[in-house]
Structure 1
Amino acid sequence: MGVFETATPMRRGGWTTVLVLAWPLAVPAQTVTELPPVPVQAMRLDLPAFDLPAALASVPVHPAASGKPGVNLSEALVGVPGVLARDRQNYAQDTQLSIRGFGARASFGVRGVRLYADGVPATMPDGQGQLSHVALAAAGRVEVLRGPFSALYGNSSGGVVQLWTAPGEAVPQRSVQVHAGADAGLSVAAGARGIAGALNYNVALAQWRSDGYRRHSRARRDVGNARLAFGLGAGRTLTVVANTLVQPQAEDPLGLTRAQWHADPRQAVTTALAFDTGKRVRQNQLGVIWEQAGPRDALRLMGYAGRRTVLQMLAVPRAAQASPLSAGGVVDLDGGYGGADLRWTRRTDALERPLELVLGLSADVQDQRRRGYENFVGDALGLRGALRRDERDRVRDLDPYVQLYWRLAERWSLLLGARHNTIAFRARDRYVTGANPDDSGRVRYRATTPVIGLDYRPGATLRLYANYGEGFETPTFNELGYRRDGGAGLAIDLRPARSRNGELGLKWHPRDALALEAALFRADTRDELAVATSYGGRSTYRNVGRSRRQGGELALDGELGAGWRLQLGLTWLDARFRSAFLACGETPCMAPQVPVPAGTRIPGVPWRYGSLRLERGGALGWHGGIELDGAGAVPVDDRDSARAPGYLRTGVDIAYGLALGSTRLGLSARVDNLFDRRIVGSVIVNDGNGRYYEPAPGRSLTLGAQLTF
């Protein structure tokens, strides 16, 4: 079917297509404006992204401008190649995020990709992360680093995503925005930013709630975000970043089988209703960054601390909890985390050959109490019952790193780096009975990950580059928690996955307001993780050998003329196991027995995917855009026994902005999935019950209003 496999549109879509393509013609042409220079901090260097030998995207975040409510990070990643961000319509499990195939097997949260918010880690030392504690209403831009240089950020860095709060401006702004849409969705956000003397501030509060597209998928999220930067003089700055998240409700409808999805994509499985599956989350976090910049030297010290509590009800059958080794069907996590990063930078301009050296040391720690309870009391299901697990989990890392940028000659530059990773896991079991032995244990992983990149400048508007690096990804605590032989203790036999990554790239900026970038990449991994057993409500893991992820990316971003602006990101990705192994064929699975031949596709990774936005208009008057996003068919398990069909989805938005004195009012309307296609939004890789499919909503309308003072 061409690039994407698609579903059949509804018959009434014909006249809608004509309107979609015709309405922009009525929008007055705008003068072409140059793209403003965007500071890029993802590489820890004071250099523009154009001059770095790495695939690095920096895109502005203003979801309200395209009629979006600002709830999910996926709203801000349109046109970024390599990145696949799937809105699961399941806020008990968060957005499914992967970069070049890394992180695709995460069943909840984000793993395989490092996350940061205003320079503060949002990924725990074991590699598990999430960004739901950040208010997109306050965000200014998101940076995405793909390829080998992401290894400079440590464990589980198949890519790096950094969200940055918008700085205050000389003219203070106050804003309120409201978005209402399908399924009783309501998003309200208020913010204030500006400059008051030595203080640069941005404060935002947001609340979002929805009844959910599917049955048993109600959710509510309250987020607060503050960034306060104090200028102390003599090049010194103190920045305080505070976040709070309260998610009192996030029902989990669980996945569907293919037959259930075809019969009714809005349904929830009966076990979800019986056990009232879902999650409640509360998190508070504070980060402090002190910086001193001089003519040649710069020093940065970052420290952060937070506390996060999670209570999650799972659909583990009562019979499975009869085993004395069962951890129950309720997960109760409560613990703190924190860390620090010290970085020194030296810059020289000797002999017109700039050189920049970065030396750093980072340390992080996560200390949480994990308890498990039965999810029933007597004959009543969905209640917290008897205690079945009680342990203290601790993970910490200590990583020195170094980077060196050197302009070798007029047309050549070199970027080197390395990071030494030391990550230690420890579990102390407090639930020990005659039938449940002591599960305490510890394991430590170490790795050094070098990177090198070379950049060639044939002209002022063209850059060619090549790079190589090695990556490192440990199992998370969830994967270490159980041994596949059923014995007590951590699965200390699991080895970290190690990757060798290479990339060739081109960056061409024919004019200031237009950029074209392309890259070819390959990542060879050994000791890839896969499911070993699945029974009794728990899964165990093992290393299965080698894999390869290779492909190409294309990005086009900028002004096309006559007021038109385009953001386009396309990715071709071939991800396969290179070693044969045995996999589970059905549940319960006490031991893998089904052969998986070398060359089988890695689950959760489509062959092709991409997104596009074409828009016209400015902040005042009419403004609108068309968005396309699509993906090819996605394997759902290690055996590639079934695939979620590919799709091509269309969204359209129109807005009108008017000035009321010093106040600006913006009104918007947006239609997603314009042709009402039936789409699998994401897959639950290797689901033990065969419920791999998470449906995306059909056609939906969102109305918005934004008032800026």
Structure 2
Amino acid sequence: MNKFILRATFLLYLAVWIGQVQAQNLLLTGHIYDTQTRQPLAGVTIRNDDGQIIAQSNKDGYFKLSREQATAAIEVALIGYKTQHVSLTAEHKDVNIQLDVDPVQLDEVRVGLNSRVNRETPGSVALLNTDDIQRGNGMSLQSALNTVPGVRMDQSTLSDSRISIRGNGVRSPWGSRAVKVYINDIPVTETDGTTRIEALDVNNIGRVEIIKGPASSMYGAGTAGVINFQLQRAPYGERSLEVSGLTGSYGLNRTATAYRSGGDKVNSYVAYGWQEYNGYRIHSNDMRRFITGNFQFFPNDRQIITVLINRTTQHSQIPGALTQTQVTENPLQANLSNVDKGAGRYQNWTRVGIGQQYRLSDKFTNSTSLFSYFYDLNHPLAYAYIRNYYQSYGGRTRFAYDPGFSAFATVFSIGAEFNQGLTKGSQYVNEQGSEGAINANIDNQNTYYSLFYQSETQLGPKTLLTLGLGINSLQYRVHDYLAPEQSGIKQFNAQATPRIALSHTFHEALSLHAGVSTGFTPPTGSEIKTVDGSINPSLQAEKAVNYELNAKGSLFHSRLSYDLAVFRMDMSGELIAQSVQQGITIYHNAGETDHRGAELALSWLAVNNENNSWIQRLRPFAAITYADFTFVDYKIRDTDDAVTAAYDGNRLTGIAPWVVNAGIDFSTAVGIYARCNYLYNDRLPLNDTNTAYHPAYHLLNAKIGYTKVIRKRIKAEIYGGLDNLLNQRYSSFVALNAVAYGGGQPAYYNPSPTRNGYGGLNLSFLF
């Protein structure tokens, strides 16, 4: 008995001693993530001080180091991302390292829900980083989004903008439709399908991922595509306070401050911004206030929690569209009715969201977000005075399962999205900018849901099959207090939207992708009404079938990157607007359009040498878009549904056949950098009859700056730029199919600024 006790005691002490030795030898464990998307990064190489590879992250981004392997500092590197140098101390036991993308190797960056290399991702996916977003003065996303072939952002004043992808959304009279927009996995698009991005502070955005074409099998309704915004996060290991100032032409002023802290357990980004712009035209003043908090928590090695808080105030005047004669006389003038009625948009937005990524097991993960979004709108127009209060809540969840098949390895994804919004709206007579008699009091409760499934199967080492299916539904519930007989419910039956794509990587020089995807876009809340204000029971959603062939790759030792897409999208049931009188427009499903096009993105890394004594980086790039978009069956009907005009075979309104955006980025070892952009926009039809056109125009923008780190504690940047160097007169935002009342000319044009400049200073204090 005593021998048994002695042996047991000896084995217990031996086990404890072995555990202590192993604990002492195991110095460091951790995970490596993409800074913006929070996706784990596999295949990250970790080197010691001598440059020797001592570890590599697995598919979950996990790695570990023993005491013998580790040194005082390690180098963390992955193609497509900036190399990170991490100093280690005795206190480091578990770290969560975040890597930032390399702005010149975007084809190597992990994108999409399953974090695949961009070059190997099926379909047309574009990526914009912080350098792209800050290409202009930082007041608008227009200069960044328009560098993506097939994507167009039109803007007149800062209060009027719309985004279209492959022609879808360009006919929207205000805001954007047919495009799904997200911030940190939280929908920005309202439940009726409309999106306004004015609440976004451009300077808070860290990355933009754009999916072109229907993506209903993962993101729900929307024939144009999806835009995923990721807000900035603190660089790993940095704690800083930044103050910045900007001034420019036409009364442009902005001041902002941002706090960043990138630790192993918490990543914090908090920013406040104030900006004001008197505007290029009369009655176009714009004032914004932004406050944003973006937090990321790492409570354990299986869980990441994110919190988003955003509050924006906007006070904007709307100058309105002008006729050709008015533009010729004085492009700075405003529409007289807009001035007389004090037209403007005065609004407060608030967004709150919380998300969690949880690794349930080595094979099973979940990502879930809950959100609430609300705003109040005070909106005098030329024909009415509108007050709206909007609030919504919802959630999105996605489960991913990798069963670990030895053959035909497959990752399965399934999820759902729910969003319910309530708009309490009142409309009054506009009496010189003040509320008059009430003429409408309507509540709109909209409920949207989407179920989605997607699987990615490795048919071979370099061949990937993607299958997807989405089921989407939308309901409008209208309660009209002044005209109860116009109350009712509009239910869109659940729509199934399948997708199939096949990809094969021949070499880093060529990856081919072929796919067919489907999508649909329901009418918005303002489009479902008849001329008397009641719900149109016959109105249906627009539908699209997209056929696409895509080639991506890198040549000449990854110095030349290209992305070529050829597509055809067949649209059916397209909504056609018919203006009945000022302020009243009705819609019919009377259109079919044929979208045929090609998109090419090129990037040439002529110089890339961080150790060069002078030129460190020189990168020319180009984005070329060709659009052959035509009406196939496009008829205008009156209120009795009788055909009054047919435009079959005409070119699609608002679409330029050719758009070229080219530029060059330049940086030096001493901190001087320069960015130059050239845009050619072909002439485009302003109406469905193709009798009026906006002429072609050329834009040239340039920006130059200088950065310097002072005593390792202060980072200073000074910059300046000139937009529209060629002093072109043009209108980026045009009122398509404008109607002339009283025998006058149609007001198509919202003149854009001629030559203008700006300059700014940023100071970052590093703690």
Instruction: Output the TM-score relative to the length of structure 2.
Output: 0.81
Distance 1:576 1:348, change over 3 A: same
Unaligned runs of 5+ in 1: 1-31, 317-328
Distance 1:375 1:112, change over 3 A: same
Q: Which runs of 4+ in 1 moved over 4 A?
A: 36-41, 589-594
Could you tell me how far apart the structure 2 residues matched to 1:114 and 1:576 are? 24
| Corresponding residue number in structure 1 for 2:381 | 314
| Corresponding residue number in structure 2 for 1:159 | 225
Could you tell me how far apart the structure 1 residues matched to 2:284 and 2:504 are? 51
Residue 367 in structure 1 maps to residue 431 in structure 2: no
Give, as a single letter, the amino acid of the residue that structure 2 aligns with 1:471.
Answer: G
Residue 109 in structure 1 maps to residue 175 in structure 2: yes
| Corresponding residue number in structure 1 for 2:274 | 207
| Corresponding residue number in structure 2 for 1:456 | 504
| Corresponding residue number in structure 2 for 1:636 | 686
Distance 1:352 1:74, change over 3 A: farther
Tell whether the 8 Å contact from 1:535 to 1:590 is kept in structure 2 after alignment. no
Residue 553 in structure 1 maps to residue 553 in structure 2: no
Paired residue for 1:491, among 536, 543, 565?
Answer: 536
Paired residue for 2:563, among 498, 514, 517?
Answer: 517
Paired residue for 1:357, among 395, 398, 412?
Answer: 412
Distance 1:674 1:270, change over 3 A: same
Q: What is the CA deviation profile of residues 129-161 of structure 1, one whole-angstrom value per residue up to 9, with x for unaligned ones? A: 122222222221111111243553111241111
Could you tell me how far apart the structure 1 residues matched to 2:585 and 2:344 are? 19
Deviation at 1:172, TM superposition (A): 1.6
Give, as a single letter, the amino acid of the residue that structure 2 aligns with 1:279.
Answer: R
Tell whether the 8 Å contact from 1:34 to 1:513 is kept in structure 2 after alignment. no
| CA root-mean-square deviation | 2.1
Distance 1:403 1:230, change over 3 A: same
| Corresponding residue number in structure 1 for 2:186 | 120
Paired residue for 1:305, among 359, 372, 393?
Answer: 372
Report 1:157-236 matches (<5 A): 157-168=223-234, 169-236=236-303
Could you tell me how far apart the structure 1 residues matched to 2:751 and 2:476 are? 36
Unaligned runs of 5+ in 2: 1-101, 608-614, 741-745
Report 1:402-413 matches (<5 A): 402-413=453-464
Q: What is the CA deviation profile of residues 531-582 of structure 1, one whole-angstrom value per residue up to 9, with x for unaligned ones? A: 1342152111111131111100000135122631133211111121101413
Give, as a single letter, the amino acid of the residue that structure 2 aligns with 1:216.
Answer: H
Residue 576 in structure 1 maps to residue 643 in structure 2: no
Could you tell me how far apart the structure 2 residues matched to 1:550 and 1:36 are? 27
Could you tell me how far apart the structure 2 residues matched to 1:62 and 1:491 are? 46
SS in 2 for 1:375: strand
| Corresponding residue number in structure 2 for 1:145 | 211
Give, as a single letter, the amino acid of the residue that structure 2 aligns with 1:479.
Answer: E
SS in 2 for 1:364: strand
Deviation at 1:618, TM superposition (A): 4.5
Distance 1:45 1:642, change over 3 A: same
Distance 1:645 1:461, change over 3 A: same
Could you tell me how far apart the structure 2 residues matched to 1:61 and 1:558 are? 19
Residue 625 in structure 1 maps to residue 707 in structure 2: no
Tell whether the 8 Å contact from 1:353 to 1:408 is kept in structure 2 after alignment. yes
Could you tell me how far apart the structure 2 residues matched to 1:38 and 1:595 are? 50
SS in 2 for 1:335: strand
Could you tell me how far apart the structure 1 residues matched to 2:156 and 2:659 are? 17
| Corresponding residue number in structure 2 for 1:700 | 756
Distance 1:262 1:133, change over 3 A: same
Deviation at 1:349, TM superposition (A): 4.1
Distance 1:185 1:469, change over 3 A: same
Could you tell me how far apart the structure 1 residues matched to 2:430 and 2:103 are? 59
Deviation at 1:659, TM superposition (A): 2.1
Residue 332 in structure 1 maps to residue 387 in structure 2: yes
SS in 2 for 1:306: strand
Tell whether the 8 Å contact from 1:681 to 1:694 is kept in structure 2 after alignment. yes
Q: How many residues align?
A: 646
Could you tell me how far apart the structure 2 residues matched to 1:642 and 1:535 are? 21
Could you tell me how far apart the structure 1 residues matched to 2:482 and 2:539 are? 24
Paired residue for 1:469, among 517, 533, 548?
Answer: 517
Distance 1:134 1:269, change over 3 A: closer
Distance 1:75 1:33, change over 3 A: closer
Tell whether the 8 Å contact from 1:372 to 1:390 is kept in structure 2 after alignment. yes
| Corresponding residue number in structure 2 for 1:71 | 139
Could you tell me how far apart the structure 1 residues matched to 2:520 and 2:506 are? 34
Distance 1:230 1:346, change over 3 A: same
Give, as a single letter, the amino acid of the residue that structure 2 aligns with 1:498.
Answer: K
Deviation at 1:504, TM superposition (A): 0.4
Give, as a single letter, the amino acid of the residue that structure 1 aligns with 2:543.
Answer: R
Sequence identity, in percent?
23
Paired residue for 1:542, among 556, 563, 588?
Answer: 588
| Corresponding residue number in structure 1 for 2:441 | 390
Distance 1:269 1:333, change over 3 A: same
Could you tell me how far apart the structure 1 residues matched to 2:407 and 2:138 are? 45
| Corresponding residue number in structure 2 for 1:691 | 747
Paired residue for 2:647, among 589, 597, 611?
Answer: 597
Deviation at 1:623, TM superposition (A): 1.0
Tell whether the 8 Å contact from 2:214 to 2:223 is kept in structure 1 after alignment. no
Deviation at 1:652, TM superposition (A): 1.2
Deviation at 1:374, TM superposition (A): 0.7
Could you tell me how far apart the structure 1 residues matched to 2:299 and 2:247 are? 42
Q: What is the CA deviation profile of residues 76-135 of structure 1, one whole-angstrom value per residue up to 9, with x for unaligned ones? A: 3253111011222251x3x22110001001111111111111111100121101222222
Distance 1:620 1:128, change over 3 A: farther
Deviation at 1:632, TM superposition (A): 1.2
| Corresponding residue number in structure 2 for 1:35 | 105
Could you tell me how far apart the structure 2 residues matched to 1:580 and 1:76 are? 33
Could you tell me how far apart the structure 2 residues matched to 1:145 and 1:245 are? 27
Paired residue for 2:330, among 252, 264, 273?
Answer: 264
Residue 423 in structure 1 maps to residue 441 in structure 2: no
SS in 1 for 2:459: coil
Tell whether the 8 Å contact from 1:112 to 1:156 is kept in structure 2 after alignment. yes
Distance 1:558 1:142, change over 3 A: farther
Higher relative contact order (CA 8 A, sep 6+): 1
SS in 2 for 1:665: strand
Paired residue for 1:132, among 191, 198, 203?
Answer: 198
SS in 1 for 2:215: helix
- Which of 144-153 and 296-305 deviates more? 144-153
Distance 1:246 1:254, change over 3 A: same
Deviation at 1:646, TM superposition (A): 1.6
Tell whether the 8 Å contact from 2:654 to 2:684 is kept in structure 1 after alignment. yes
SS in 2 for 1:492: coil
| Corresponding residue number in structure 2 for 1:504 | 549
Tell whether the 8 Å contact from 1:138 to 1:203 is kept in structure 2 after alignment. no
Instruction: Output the TM-score relative to the length of structure 1.
Output: 0.87
Deviation at 1:275, TM superposition (A): 0.6
Give, as a single letter, the amino acid of the residue that structure 1 aligns with 2:735.
Answer: I
Tell whether the 8 Å contact from 1:253 to 1:269 is kept in structure 2 after alignment. yes
Distance 1:138 1:558, change over 3 A: farther
Distance 1:592 1:261, change over 3 A: farther
Tell whether the 8 Å contact from 2:635 to 2:643 is kept in structure 1 after alignment. no
| Corresponding residue number in structure 1 for 2:491 | 444
Distance 1:417 1:620, change over 3 A: farther
Q: What is the CA deviation profile of residues 569-623 of structure 1, one whole-angstrom value per residue up to 9, with x for unaligned ones? A: 1111112110141368xxxx99887523311122121111132220211485221
